[in-house]
A and B are shown apart, each in its own frame.
Chain A
């Protein structure tokens, strides 16, 4: 079974903005941000690959920084802004990273893809024109067992080289 929360008596109030939408939740102290996203908010785009911070599949942005949502307690997200893969495409228009992933065939099974995209989004927000080395380091914690690494890096490079930068 996927990582269960430890039993807990009391619930804690958490106010968190997810993909621009304010959410008011009551959660057990041990519930992770990943569990809240997937099970309570039904945002299943964020994946659980290991539950213990070793694969990167659950990467989301917390206040703009890439974080492993399986290692963040929901109560720690109180008052913060969380962005998940579901927040990227708006009104049917894809994010440049998503477009580049399609163009470079930067995925196979697709299970690590949301985490890869979110890790790169955090990089490009902070560093609009990163080098290949910076790109590799940004996704070094995101395992792709299908081995699409070179294609993921090429997709990211294309976005990094865009003159207008990344939004």
Chain B
């Protein structure tokens, strides 16, 4: 790894060190109890009956045969759900977001709108009986015409997925005079790109156990990114919010797929009805069939530039597929709209974005959340522009890159350093000397792609996080934070921050996470926000606690309060005299000084913005650049990525090892997106419901991604950190497409870049491309 040395504003002992993760030992010993590993006495097993049709009326639904099977404890349909419609604000948020609210039907009520939509729930003594009961439910469907393409959905006379029509959301941005600027541009690049639907495909399928605990509190221990779903479960059951508790054990991968409710509500309904513990574990097939996925988009970009490569205008039209239910589609489209011009100065810009309902699987949050899909558009355009004008790919980006203080087309001013140019140069240089093609029919080429990705939630949401930090009587430290850890080292980073501030070793910090009843709420582990938000909350709590402890310690040491330090589990005077933290705690107890503190961090807040008029949308952004070298087999169209250098400015790397892991992992997911993965849906029928047909990259498919960490120190997180969870997934696909043109001269505009697509572009195949579903 390469790491940019930056002068620290304060000497740091623990932050910035590549220490073993807090959760690593349990995970390598497999002591971590994931959601499906939990068993309880008398536990029932839950199962879901799902629609076989993408669009149909339910003419008859008869559960009597199923309910009569021995060992079946409950069979529930829409009529058994106290409140069957969930109005989902942004998950986990307490402020309403008005037009972004989405209606979600929990169990199909008379109509099914996508294949795999839940129709009924079963709880039974064994998984086998539950499955038999699901199969014994009699459903008579009347297939209805469906619509399976967003453009077709918006055409007049299209079948309506919902009564209110198929246009789910639309956003637009306008700045300057695009028409005029495009007319006057020396060169205009006009291309339409398509990106596909993909799945999160985390290794741990959706799972959980629910039971009614003491005092009638419904407790749900589930694999989720959002413990605040306790509110949704309470609303569905019609019980007070304080009677539902959600616990998130360590999650076996989330990537946005466990942001919306999955098993939580179903488990709650079954446990509440049966008054027995219930476990529900979705199969891989179920997960791939029915859980919300990443939005496919059609992106039309027209980019105008001057002869020297300076951008003068961009007109962008976006059309996304929301599938059958809204989930977070309106927000995903907002992210796409705001970032559609990339990390560049575009003086005249227009973005018209729409997302439409179809009878395809629903789409919602996935790592990169709309912003990542745009990278294919803006970075293909930059490369095509460079090629047309004979400019160096790094140079054309450097000429147009945003700088601190510039405004995005939406009108938001960038308040922190924009390291796009540096990242592009570092990534490009990191490729090293060019590799020679192996055979005469191989071609080698290089591609670059930069990106902009928000971290933290939309400022209208008035986002906040709280965390509790305390010191025990023996001097050991406890952190409590309602943070689901989905594998990004969320809990570990918080330990490291508390350890830094309170002067104890990280191993002496215990952390309790993600229990909506017992840990202060921290908001969701989504939107690249946990290190930023909860990191700041822990920092605030630990600093307040330190200030109090130092005051008491200074008295014990008879030293000036401003000169005493906490280190190695002790308070240390300037002359080296020390008193153990345990001793200071005793003194705090004697004096009645609190030994804990609840820290709260409020993100920058703002009012809802009419994008067309403009304003601030996100707290801040993370910037980066990836460079790849690919080898294309011009006889088969096969593409191999030989080298991949991924560079991001993370502000400050709290744990460089974890940051590297995030960058490498994001790049791996981005390469899978670019080269392999696609949820293939034909007339609403999902053809990729196993990992045998839905291709996730393996150890043999990927190069060793080389992470390069830049530390500008200029971020809004703790110690100047920026978020890095989502950003690295954005650039790889566009970088590969750019490298393929460099190698072969052909431009691929559709993902995934399969050998067949490349072969077609190279003219190797004579038959026409099959029509898109």
Instruction: Please report A residues at the B interface, Cβ cutoff 8 Å.
Output: 1-7, 38-39, 42, 44-52, 54-55, 57, 85-86, 88-89, 94, 98, 101-103, 105, 107-114, 117, 136-137, 139-153
- Which residues on the A side are within 8 Å of B34 (C-beta)? 44, 47, 111
- Which residues on the A side are within 8 Å of B27 (C-beta)? 107, 110, 113
Report yes or no: B203 in contact with A143, Cβ–Cβ below 8 A.
yes
Report yes or no: A102 in contact with B24, Cβ–Cβ below 8 A.
yes
Separation of A112 and B696 alpha carbons in the complex (Å)? 14
Q: With contacts A48-B36, A54-B691, A111-B253 known, is A94 near B28, CB below 8 A?
A: yes
Other-chain contact of A145, B130, B253, B284, B705 (Cβ < 8 Å): B253
The stretch of B305-313, B634-642, B664-672 that contacts the partner chain: B664-672
Report yes or no: A112 in contact with B203, Cβ–Cβ below 8 A.
yes
- Which residues on the A side are within 8 Å of B31 (C-beta)? 45
Q: With contacts A108-B489, A149-B699, A151-B664 known, is A1 near B45, CB below 8 A?
A: yes
Report yes or no: A145 in contact with B201, Cβ–Cβ below 8 A.
yes
Separation of A149 and B702 alpha carbons in the complex (Å)? 8
Q: List 10 A-B contacts (CB under 8 A).
A: A1-B127, A6-B128, A44-B37, A47-B204, A47-B252, A107-B24, A107-B27, A110-B487, A143-B203, A147-B667
Task: Tell me the minimal C-beta distance from B650 to chain A in angstroms.
Answer: 16
Other-chain contact of B699, A38, A49, A101, A153 (Cβ < 8 Å): A153
Q: Report B95-142 residues with CB < 8 Å from chain A CB.
A: 126-128, 130-132
Report yes or no: B30 in contact with A85, Cβ–Cβ below 8 A.
yes
Separation of A142 and B284 alpha carbons in the complex (Å)? 15
Q: With contacts A111-B203, A147-B668, A148-B664 known, is A5 near B699, CB below 8 A?
A: no
Report yes or no: A2 in contact with B204, Cβ–Cβ below 8 A.
no
Interface flag for B191 (CB, 8 Å)? no
Report yes or no: B282 in contact with A1, Cβ–Cβ below 8 A.
yes
Report yes or no: B690 in contact with A52, Cβ–Cβ below 8 A.
yes
* Of B24, B25, B37, B692, most A-chain CB atoms within 10 Å: B24
Q: B132 — nearest CB in chain A belongs to which residue?
A: A7
Separation of A11 and B126 alpha carbons in the complex (Å)? 16
Task: Tell me the minimal C-beta distance from A75 to chain B in angstroms.
Answer: 17
Separation of A101 and B24 alpha carbons in the complex (Å)? 8
Separation of A42 and B33 alpha carbons in the complex (Å)? 11
Task: Tell me the minimal C-beta distance from B685 to chain A in angstroms.
Answer: 20
Report yes or no: A105 in contact with B253, Cβ–Cβ below 8 A.
no
Other-chain contact of B127, A2, A52, A148 (Cβ < 8 Å): A2
Instruction: Please report B residues at the A interface, Cβ cutoff 8 Å.
Output: 18, 20-21, 23-34, 36-37, 39, 45-48, 126-128, 130-132, 200-205, 207, 250-255, 280-284, 286, 486-489, 657-658, 660-661, 664-669, 690-692, 696-700, 702, 704-705
Report yes or no: B282 in contact with A140, Cβ–Cβ below 8 A.
no
* Of A86, A150, A151, most B-chain CB atoms within 10 Å: A150
Report yes or no: A1 in contact with B487, Cβ–Cβ below 8 A.
no
Other-chain contact of A4, B128, B486, B657 (Cβ < 8 Å): B128
Q: With contacts A49-B205, A55-B691 known, is A105 near B280, CB below 8 A?
A: no
Report yes or no: A142 in contact with B699, Cβ–Cβ below 8 A.
yes
Report yes or no: A150 in contact with B28, Cβ–Cβ below 8 A.
no
Nearest 5 Cβ contacts at the A-B interface: A45-B30, A147-B668, A109-B487, A111-B252, A110-B27
- Which residues on the B side are within 8 Å of A142 (C-beta)? 698-699
Other-chain contact of B131, A1, A46, A111, A143 (Cβ < 8 Å): A1
Report yes or no: A136 in contact with B281, Cβ–Cβ below 8 A.
no
- Which residues on the B side are within 8 Å of A102 (C-beta)? 20-21, 24-25, 28
- Which residues on the A side are within 8 Å of B696 (C-beta)? 143, 145
Report yes or no: B668 in contact with A149, Cβ–Cβ below 8 A.
yes
Other-chain contact of A105, B20, B47, B252 (Cβ < 8 Å): B20
Report yes or no: B250 in contact with A109, Cβ–Cβ below 8 A.
yes
Task: Tell me the minimal C-beta distance from B136 to chain A in angstroms.
Answer: 12
Report yes or no: A5 in contact with B203, Cβ–Cβ below 8 A.
no
Task: Tell me the minimal C-beta distance from A67 to chain B in angstroms.
Answer: 17
Report yes or no: B698 in contact with A141, Cβ–Cβ below 8 A.
yes
Q: B656 — nearest CB in chain A belongs to which residue?
A: A105
Task: Tell me the minimal C-beta distance from A119 to chain B in angstroms.
Answer: 10
Report yes or no: B691 in contact with A2, Cβ–Cβ below 8 A.
no
Report yes or no: A1 in contact with B666, Cβ–Cβ below 8 A.
no
Separation of A1 and B31 alpha carbons in the complex (Å)? 23
Other-chain contact of A110, B46, B132, B252, B665 (Cβ < 8 Å): B252
Q: With contacts A4-B128, A7-B128, A102-B25 known, is A147 near B666, CB below 8 A?
A: yes
Separation of A5 and B657 alpha carbons in the complex (Å)? 42
* Of B252, B281, B286, most A-chain CB atoms within 10 Å: B252
Task: Tell me the minimal C-beta distance from B723 to chain A in angstroms.
Answer: 16
Report yes or no: B201 in contact with A94, Cβ–Cβ below 8 A.
no
- Which residues on the A side are within 8 Å of B25 (C-beta)? 94, 102
Report yes or no: A146 in contact with B699, Cβ–Cβ below 8 A.
no
Report yes or no: B283 in contact with A3, Cβ–Cβ below 8 A.
yes
Other-chain contact of B21, A6, A85, A105 (Cβ < 8 Å): A105
Q: B38 — nearest CB in chain A belongs to which residue?
A: A44
Report yes or no: B30 in contact with A108, Cβ–Cβ below 8 A.
no
Q: With contacts A101-B28, A140-B700 known, is A110 near B250, CB below 8 A?
A: yes
Q: A153 — nearest CB in chain B belongs to which residue?
A: B699
Task: Tell me the minimal C-beta distance from A60 to chain B in angstroms.
Answer: 11
- Which residues on the A side are within 8 Å of B660 (C-beta)? 105
Having A52-B690, A108-B253, A110-B252, one finds 17 other A-B pairs with CB under 8 Å, namely A1-B282, A2-B281, A3-B283, A4-B126, A44-B36, A50-B284, A94-B29, A107-B28, A109-B253, A110-B23, A111-B253, A143-B698, A145-B669, A147-B702, A149-B699, A150-B664, A153-B704
Separation of A38 and B34 alpha carbons in the complex (Å)? 12
Separation of A132 and B333 alpha carbons in the complex (Å)? 43
* Of A88, A89, A102, A111, most B-chain CB atoms within 10 Å: A111
* Of A2, A46, A52, most B-chain CB atoms within 10 Å: A2
- Which residues on the B side are within 8 Å of A45 (C-beta)? 29-31
Report yes or no: B30 in contact with A113, Cβ–Cβ below 8 A.
yes
Report yes or no: B699 in contact with A151, Cβ–Cβ below 8 A.
no
Task: Tell me the minimal C-beta distance from B611 to chain A in angstroms.
Answer: 33
Separation of A91 and B702 alpha carbons in the complex (Å)? 37
Separation of A142 and B203 alpha carbons in the complex (Å)? 10
- Which residues on the B side are within 8 Å of A112 (C-beta)? 203
Task: Tell me the minimal C-beta distance from B32 to chain A in angstroms.
Answer: 6
